[in-house]
Amino acid sequence: MHIVPERPGDFAAIENLMDVSFGAGRAAKTVYKLRDGVPHDMALSFVALEEGAAESEMRGSIRYWPILIGAARTPAILLGPLAVDPAHKGRGFGKALMRHSLAHAKAQGHKIVVLVGDPEYYNPFGFTREQALALALPGPVEERRFLALALEPGALDGVSGMIQLALPPRRSVRRSAA
Ligand SMILES: CC(C)(COP(=O)(O)OP(=O)(O)OC[C@H]1O[C@@H](n2cnc3c(N)ncnc32)[C@H](O)[C@@H]1OP(=O)(O)O)[C@@H](O)C(=O)NCCC(=O)NCCS
């Protein structure tokens, strides 16, 4: 299998995979409030392709969004969605996408990762409920599924509060003096 950066041509296939995996109503979930109007981080978005398969035969996708935590606006990243083609589950694509993207996140200097997902799947990568106890999300989630990971020891020490949308800086509008 190959893990490669998400390409513009993957967009439609990823949307379709997300609809199949999470249902068309997925945008109503709390985590989508943190994605609204914010582009995902292309430097951390990857697709899994299978050796020998046509390029269009993508097996899985992972994306991350930039977020800010608390009044201090500590930068962090929100992991997900992660999804693997239902016909190819259990073949290691999910774990490969996780390992690859987390290694890149660390190498790029990210220090805190947050997600909402099954702890049984994410615990082996170091995500725990305990690390997210001082954090809050702007809407309801099943508490046991709200997890965090410090990519650097101590990165979550003293970090607390509501997770917010990391809006890109507004383009400054230059008005010519008429
Ligand atoms: C969760 C998902 C990404 C896993 O991808 P995958 O390629 O099938 O998983 P892998 O082959 O890398 O890993 C398989 C292992 O994960 C376990 N696993 C898969 N989904 C799991 C889940 N939701 N909870 C706990 N364990 C899970 C399998 O039992 C298997 O365990 P084993 O290695 O001990 O046999 C994929 O099943 C998927 O797309 N699910 C629907 C969308 C989703 O739930 N996304 C994640 C949000 S929690």
Q: How many domains does the chain have?
A: 1
Its sign, for the CA torsion 43, 44, 45, 50, is positive
pLDDT band at residue 58, thresholds of 50, 70 and 90? very high
Note whether residue 174 is domain-resident: no
Nearest residue (CA) to ligand 1, atom 14: 90
Q: Give residue 80's pLDDT.
A: 95
Q: Give residue 57's pLDDT.
A: 84
Q: In Å, how far are 20, 110, 175 from 99, measured between CA atoms?
A: 23, 15, 47
Residue of 102, 84, 3, 94 lying closest to 44 (CA atoms)? 102
Note whether residue 136 is domain-resident: yes
**Cβ-defined contacts of 153-159 (< 8 Å, 24+):** 155/111, 155/112, 156/112, 156/131, 159/69, 159/70, 159/72, 159/74, 159/112, 159/134, 159/135
Mean pLDDT of 35-64: 88
Radius of gyration of the chain (CA): 17
Domain boundaries, position 81: 2-165
Nearest residue (CA) to ligand 1, atom 23: 118
Report the separation in Å between the CA atom of 20 and the middle of ligand 1, taken as the mean of its atom positions. Answer: 15
Note whether residue 175 is domain-resident: no
Note whether residue 142 is domain-resident: yes
* Ligand 1 close to Cβ of residue 127 (< 6 A): no
- pLDDT higher than threshold 80 for residue 56: no
* Ligand 1 close to Cβ of residue 69 (< 6 A): no
pLDDT band at residue 51, thresholds of 50, 70 and 90? confident
Nearest residue (CA) to ligand 1, atom 17: 121
- Tell me: the pLDDT tens digits for 84-140? 999 999 999 999 999 999 999 999 999 999 999 999 999 999 999 999 999 999 999
- Chain length of the chain: 178
Note whether residue 51 is domain-resident: yes
CA angle 12, 18, 24 (to 5 degrees): 100
Bond before 81 cis per omega within 30 degrees: yes
* Ligand 1 close to Cβ of residue 92 (< 6 A): yes
Residue 103's CATH number: 3.40.630.30
* Ligand 1 close to Cβ of residue 66 (< 6 A): no
Report the separation in Å between the CA atom of 94 and the middle of ligand 1, taken as the mean of its atom positions. Answer: 6
Note whether residue 47 is domain-resident: yes
Note whether residue 170 is domain-resident: no
Note whether residue 126 is domain-resident: yes
Residue with tokens 């400054």: 172
